[in-house]
């Protein structure tokens, strides 16, 4: 419905005009290039890729210095093409990048030093009470110094008991919980004897230090301060450079497009002098391409025939109001070129599903306002934000009808005129009476199911597949609606309409059972079998008192006529089919005569038709075609049984009610908690406001996610399988892609 027609073209140009033409083609952005070769990247391409990656890393790094000044989402910078080209080519890129890398490397090295010093200080702090100069302590002429930690009181006492028999000196420097920081001095002549007794101590080697521990810590702290100041200096320089961030963003977009250009160049078909570009273009854009090629001396293009092996790209073209809903296909898959674009078809139901899942006017207002503000901030079209804005607007209506405004906040506040306005707009309160919401969800599910089947019938008719439309899909549409009509409203309708619904459902069942699997060779047999089954079902329904007495005689006669005529026709087909060799000629005559006699007796003597039916089915089974059709009818019965799945599909829409009531329920719970807290003296109001803000923000965000996901599910799982295959290739023209810049063409965005 909204898939733009595309044409396959081939462009040829001389190598001398390659760079300029490709750059203009990229700016024009109308050609989807196909049949690209996979080749090894050239040095230029590799170099550009490294530069682009480096630029992106630098932008992300410098953005940390601008966070306080940046909003949640940064808007794109509008530039004319001339400004874009000038800033992209004139800025001293390599020099600045090297400067940033130098500062970054220095900062990393200094921070590593800080971490090392910090670790050393933490290591030394438990020994800060050790007042001796470490160089002197380890340099004693007659004593060996052991410094270490006992990790339990038991270990400490056991070791001291062992060494106390010797003339050794020990001192507890510090104690933290069960750790004993100890210094032990041992005469050198006894060291070999005493040392083995120190198996419980964790020895700490402080030989590399000079001075006292407190002096060493002070020195390290001074060094840390010096390094911190040095790091701050580098950060200040980076802070100054970060003011150039907008230029870096422009350069990133410029070089990223240069990279795309090089990738395309490296993948085209090239001869000694000529370059060939094969691709697809929208029919409406051919004139733009023609205008471009006319500006070059050696560039020409021609149409190519579309072959069966071509993967035709799909270009969606929708009205502005439906454009945001294309994101639903972006998340799923593109349609095939021959399919309907489901975007405008799913749009109304998606918004209704979303609104019913969220079902709060306050949240709808908040969602709409936030989406519009972000759109203005970005200053560009954003499908997702536009989609949320539309869904938010419909949610306001849904919330008004269900009386939910941030839950029951109006009732809690108690302002009469707000309560009166809310009540006047409320159609039903799902918390007090959920049944209307339940019925509404089922009704929407039923309508959406029929909507999908109708679209499938239309799609089949559009593809001129009349048999599939009228035999496979239309019977289900008739059967589902007839059953619902008979079950729910037929008692309130005139007798003729009830009769019509019953006959329509019986006819649909007959077609589904007989024609689920069709066979061209036996098509006449299937037609008459369908008539036979229809007659049997009509006759059986007369025995169940399904009709008003005034119609009963006519219906009975109709059923009998269908039975007799269908059986008679099937027997005639069996007897006069020259290819059938399942019975002898004399047996065919016998069957034929028997059937005529049964037919005459039934009509003349008013015999019960069941006698004729049973005998005729037996003789019909003698025909090989009829026997071969039996398995088709079994599949038809199985397909009819699978129709119960439609009930499951409709019931799955109850999730609309469930999610809508969850949103309202949580909102009301948040309000109740806040009004309980508000009674706390002094700080009650402040705490209540915090609970309301945090609670409603959480409920708002989590239920937006739920509404979006479940609306997607109802479309992807329940709607799309009716008519949508997908798997198409998206039409992606070779064009300029910008992340940070909006290029103004001719004074317009």
CA of 415: how far to CAs of 408, 420, 427, 436, 521, in Å?
A: 12, 9, 20, 28, 77
Number of Cβ within 10 Å of residue 147's Cβ equals: 21
Retrieve residue 219's tokens.
């020195």
| DSSP letter (8 states) at residue 269 | E
First-residue to last-residue Cα distance in the chain: 28
- Name 373's Cβ contacts closer than 8 Å, sequence gap at least 6: none
* Sign of the C-alpha dihedral computed for residues 431, 436, 442 and 446 taken in this order: negative
Short-list 520, 459, 250, CA closest to 335: 459
3-state secondary structure 115-159: HHHHHHHHHHHHHCCCCCCHHHHCCCCCEEEEEEEECCHHHHHHH
pLDDT at residue 524, as a whole number: 80
Bin 508: left if φ > 0, else alpha if -120 < ψ < 50, else beta: alpha
In angstroms, rounded to a whole number, what is the distance separating the alpha carbons of residues 257 and 446?
49
Number of Cβ within 10 Å of residue 378's Cβ equals: 15
* Sign of the C-alpha dihedral computed for residues 254, 255, 260 and 261 taken in this order: positive
In angstroms, rounded to a whole number, what is the distance separating the alpha carbons of residues 482 and 542?
18
Calculate the CA 249 to chain-centre distance. 29
* 8 Å CB contact between 706 and 354: no
pTM of the model: 0.77
Number of Cβ within 10 Å of residue 23's Cβ equals: 15
In angstroms, rounded to a whole number, what is the distance separating the alpha carbons of residues 70 and 372?
18
- Name 560's Cβ contacts closer than 8 Å, sequence gap at least 6: 535, 539, 602, 609
* 8 Å CB contact between 151 and 236: no
Retrieve residue 626's tokens.
């009829």
Retrieve residue 712's tokens.
């997607």
In angstroms, rounded to a whole number, what is the distance separating the alpha carbons of residues 50 and 56?
10
CA of 500: how far to CAs of 177, 219, 549, in Å?
A: 92, 101, 15
pLDDT at residue 580, as a whole number: 47
Bin 727: left if φ > 0, else alpha if -120 < ψ < 50, else beta: left
* 8 Å CB contact between 51 and 255: yes
Beta strands in 467-605 (DSSP E): none
pLDDT at residue 448, as a whole number: 93
* 8 Å CB contact between 305 and 9: no
C-alpha torsion angle, residues 179, 181, 186, 188 (rounded to 10): 110
List, in sequence order, the alpha helices (H) in 171-307.
191-194, 213-242, 245-265, 286-293
Bin 669: left if φ > 0, else alpha if -120 < ψ < 50, else beta: alpha
Q: What are phi and psi of 202, to 5 degrees?
A: -95, 105
In angstroms, rounded to a whole number, what is the distance separating the alpha carbons of residues 264 and 733?
12
In angstroms, rounded to a whole number, what is the distance separating the alpha carbons of residues 365 and 246?
34
Helix (H, G, I), strand (E, B) or coil at 239: helix
Token pair 């006319």: residue? 294
Helix (H, G, I), strand (E, B) or coil at 171: strand
Calculate the CA 571 to chain-centre distance. 58
* 8 Å CB contact between 539 and 609: yes
In angstroms, rounded to a whole number, what is the distance separating the alpha carbons of residues 638 and 517?
11
Q: What are phi and psi of 655, to 5 degrees?
A: -60, -25
pLDDT at residue 610, as a whole number: 65
- Name 122's Cβ contacts closer than 8 Å, sequence gap at least 6: none
pLDDT at residue 749, as a whole number: 39
Retrieve residue 8's tokens.
């396959």
Mean pLDDT by 10 residues, the chain (749 residues): 84 88 88 70 73 84 68 66 78 80 90 91 89 86 89 89 88 88 90 88 88 90 91 88 84 86 81 87 90 88 87 88 90 88 92 93 93 80 88 93 88 82 87 90 93 91 87 89 81 75 86 82 79 79 68 72 73 62 54 64 61 64 70 84 87 92 91 88 87 92 93 91 86 86 62
List, in sequence order, the alpha helices (H) in 403-434.
409-413, 416-425
pLDDT at residue 639, as a whole number: 85
* 8 Å CB contact between 26 and 260: yes
* 8 Å CB contact between 673 and 694: no
Q: Are strands 729-730 and 313-314 parallel, antiparallel or unpaired?
A: parallel
Helix (H, G, I), strand (E, B) or coil at 12: strand
Calculate the CA 455 to chain-centre distance. 24
In angstroms, rounded to a whole number, what is the distance separating the alpha carbons of residues 299 and 291?
11
3-state secondary structure 301-328: EEECCCCCCCCCEECECCCCCCHHHHHH
pLDDT at residue 380, as a whole number: 65
């Amino acid at each position: 419905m909204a898939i733009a027609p595309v044409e396959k073209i081939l462009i040829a140009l001389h190598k001398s005009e390659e760079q300029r033409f490709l750059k203009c083609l990229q700016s024009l952005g109308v050609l989807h290039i196909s049949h690209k070769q996979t080749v090894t990247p050239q040095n230029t391409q590799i170099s550009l890729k490294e530069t682009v990656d480096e630029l992106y890393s630098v932008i992300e790094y410098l953005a940390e210095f601008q966070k306080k000044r940046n909003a949640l989402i940064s808007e794109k910078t509008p530039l004319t093409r001339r400004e874009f080209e000038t800033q992209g080519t004139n800025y001293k890129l390599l020099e600045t990048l090297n400067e940033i890398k130098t500062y970054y490397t220095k900062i990393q090295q200094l921070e590593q030093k800080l971490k090392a010093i910090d670790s050393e200080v933490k290591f030394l702090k438990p020994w800060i009470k050790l007042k001796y100069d470490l160089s002197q302590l380890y340099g004693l002429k007659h004593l060996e110094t052991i410094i270490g930690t006992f990790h339990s009181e038991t270990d400490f006492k056991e070791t001291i008991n062992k060494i106390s028999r010797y003339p050794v000196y020990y001192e507890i420097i510090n104690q933290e919980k069960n750790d004993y920081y100890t210094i032990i001095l041992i005469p050198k002549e006894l060291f070999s004897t005493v040392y083995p007794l120190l198996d419980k101590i964790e020895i700490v080697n402080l030989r590399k230090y000079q001075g006292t521990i407190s002096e060493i810590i002070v020195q390290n702290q001074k060094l840390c301060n010096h390094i911190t100041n040095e790091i701050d200096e580098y950060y200040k320089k980076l802070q100054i450079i970060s003011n150039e961030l907008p230029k870096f963003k422009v350069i990133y977009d410029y070089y990223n497009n240069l990279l795309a250009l090089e990738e395309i160049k490296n993948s085209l078909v090239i001869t000694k002098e000529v370059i060939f570009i094969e691709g697809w273009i929208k029919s409406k854009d051919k004139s733009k391409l023609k205008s471009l090629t006319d500006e070059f001396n050696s560039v020409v293009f021609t149409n190519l025939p579309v072959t069966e092996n071509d993967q035709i790209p799909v270009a969606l073209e929708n009205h502005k109001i439906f454009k945001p809903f294309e994101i639903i296909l972006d998340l799923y898959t593109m349609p095939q070129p021959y399919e309907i674009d489901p975007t405008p078809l799913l749009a109304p139901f998606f918004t209704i599903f979303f609104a019913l899942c969220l079902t709060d006017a306050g949240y709808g207002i908040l969602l709409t306002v936030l989406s519009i503000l972000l759109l203005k901030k970005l200053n560009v079209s954003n499908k997702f934000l536009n989609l949320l804005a539309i869904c938010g607007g419909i949610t306001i209506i849904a919330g008004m009808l269900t009386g939910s405004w941030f839950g029951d906040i109006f009732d809690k506040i108690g302002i009469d005129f707000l309560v009166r306005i809310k009540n006047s707009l409320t159609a039903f309160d799902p918390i007090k009476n959920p049944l209307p919401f339940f019925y509404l969800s089922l009704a929407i599910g039923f309508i959406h199911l029929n909507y999908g089947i109708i679209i499938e019938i239309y799609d089949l008719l559009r593809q001129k597949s009349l048999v599939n439309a009228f035999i496979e899909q239309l019977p289900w549409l008739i059967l589902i609606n007839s059953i619902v009509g008979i079950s729910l409203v037929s008692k309130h309708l005139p007798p003729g309409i009830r009769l019509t619904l019953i006959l329509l459902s019986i006819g649909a069942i007959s077609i589904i059972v007989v024609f689920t699997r069709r066979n061209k060779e036996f098509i006449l047999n299937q037609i008459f079998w369908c008539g036979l089954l229809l007659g049997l079902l009509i006759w059986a329904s007369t025995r169940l008192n399904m009709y008003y007495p005034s119609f009963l005689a006519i219906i009975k006669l109709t059923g009998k006529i269908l039975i007799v005529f269908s059986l008679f026709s099937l027997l005639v087909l069996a007897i006069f089919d020259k290819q059938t060799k399942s019975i002898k000629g004399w047996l065919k005559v016998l069957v034929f005569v028997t059937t005529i006699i049964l037919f005459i007796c039934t009509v003349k003597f008013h015999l019960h038709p069941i006698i004729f039916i049973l005998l005729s089915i037996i003789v019909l089974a003698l025909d090989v075609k009829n026997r071969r059709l039996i398995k088709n009818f079994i599949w038809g019965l199985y397909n009819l049984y699978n129709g119960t799945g439609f009930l499951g599909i409709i019931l799955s829409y109850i999730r609309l009610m469930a999610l809508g009531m969850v949103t309202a329920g949580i909102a009301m719970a948040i309000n109740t908690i806040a009004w309980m807290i508000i009674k706390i003296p002094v700080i009650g109001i402040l705490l209540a406001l915090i609970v309301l803000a945090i609670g409603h923000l959480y409920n708002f965000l989590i239920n937006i996610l739920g509404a979006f996901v479940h609306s997607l599910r109802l479309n992807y799982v329940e709607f799309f399988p009716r008519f949508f295959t997908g798997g198409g290739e998206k039409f992606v023209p070779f064009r300029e892609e910008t992340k940070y810049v909006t290029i103004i063409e001719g004074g317009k965005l």
